[in-house]
């Protein structure tokens, strides 16, 4: 049985008829209890679930990174859910059941800070990935003191290595050490920037697939 808190104008807790009430992050909400259907796995539902799972597998290894990368879009939702929403509608390619993530359209950080110029990634030293970019300080909102956001994603292992406080934009280079097990394996590399005070974030740029040197 549901309860109406703080009088008739207060929030609803629990279920009253087919209305379900609750509170999330201090926000009262109401939703209608969905009607039961004979076949919940319609073609459209299966298709959407397949897309959802594709993006979920992509983002799960980078949950902690997204807390910085999508923090400016966590409006009444988590950073992870904000990233899910963006990539579900912008980064899916293919057709059911063979959906995949188009990394060139995917974002692992999002914001209006001026982004990457001339970014590239390679690996010439065993167990390390080297990232370079052009110092575009003074272009738009770019500052020399902005910090690099670097994500290295090993999709086969569903793991990531990252930094949310990398070298300054003016440094133009960084290298991340990855686990020895990654040697000889392909990883996907993304680069973005966050302002020194953390108030601004740039859209990430996909730097491509790199085979880790061994």
Q: Name which of 187, 122, 178, 190 is nearest 156 in CA terms.
A: 187
| Res 140: pLDDT | 98
Give residue 161's Cα distance to chain centre: 14
Give residue 157's Cα distance to chain centre: 17
Q: Examine the domain organization and report whether 21 and 77 are in the same domain.
A: no
Count of domains observed in the chain: 2
Say if 1 falls within a structural domain. no
pTM here is 0.81
Say if 177 falls within a structural domain. yes
CA dihedral 175, 177, 178, 179 (to 10 degrees): 170
- Report how far residue 119's alpha carbon sits from residue 205's, in angstroms, rounded to the nearest whole number: 8
Q: Examine the domain organization and report whether 93 and 29 are in the same domain.
A: no
Say if 4 falls within a structural domain. no
Q: In this predicted model, what pLDDT tens digit does every residue of 46-62 receive, in sequence order?
A: 899 999 999 999 999 99
- Work out the pLDDT band at 16, boundaries 50, 70, 90: low
Interval 197-205 mean pLDDT: 98
Q: Examine the domain organization and report whether 175 and 128 are in the same domain.
A: yes
Q: Examine the domain organization and report whether 15 and 59 are in the same domain.
A: no
- Domain extent, residue 176, equals 43-211
- Lowest-confidence pick of 26-30, 56-60, 129-133, 194-198: 26-30
Q: Examine the domain organization and report whether 34 and 47 are in the same domain.
A: no
Mark residue 158 as left, alpha or beta (left: phi above 0; alpha: psi -120 to 50; beta: remaining): left
- Report how far residue 173's alpha carbon sits from residue 97's, in angstroms, rounded to the nearest whole number: 40
């Amino acid at each position: 049985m549901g309860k109406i808190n703080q009088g008739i104008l207060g929030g609803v807790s629990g279920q009253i008829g087919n209305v379900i009430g609750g509170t999330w992050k201090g926000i009262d909400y109401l939703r209608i209890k969905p009607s039961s259907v004979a076949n919940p796995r319609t073609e459209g539902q299966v298709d959407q679930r397949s897309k959802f799972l594709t993006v979920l597998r992509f983002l799960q290894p980078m949950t902690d990174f997204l807390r910085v990368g999508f923090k400016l879009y966590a409006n009444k939702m988590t950073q992870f859910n904000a990233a899910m929403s963006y990539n579900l509608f912008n980064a899916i390619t293919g057709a059911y059941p063979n959906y995949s993530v188009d990394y060139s359209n995917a974002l692992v950080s999002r914001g209006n800070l001026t982004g990457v110029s001339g970014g590239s990634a390679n690996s010439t030293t065993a167990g390390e990935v080297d990232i370079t970019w052009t110092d575009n300080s003074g272009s738009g909102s770019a500052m020399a003191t902005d910090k690099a956001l670097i994500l290295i994603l090993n999709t086969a292992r569903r793991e990531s290595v990252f930094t949310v406080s990398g070298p300054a934009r003016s440094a133009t280079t960084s290298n991340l050490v990855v686990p020895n097990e990654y040697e000889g394996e392909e990883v996907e590399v993304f680069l973005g920037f966050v302002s020194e005070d953390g108030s601004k974030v740039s859209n990430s740029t996909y730097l491509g697939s790199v085979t880790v040197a061994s």
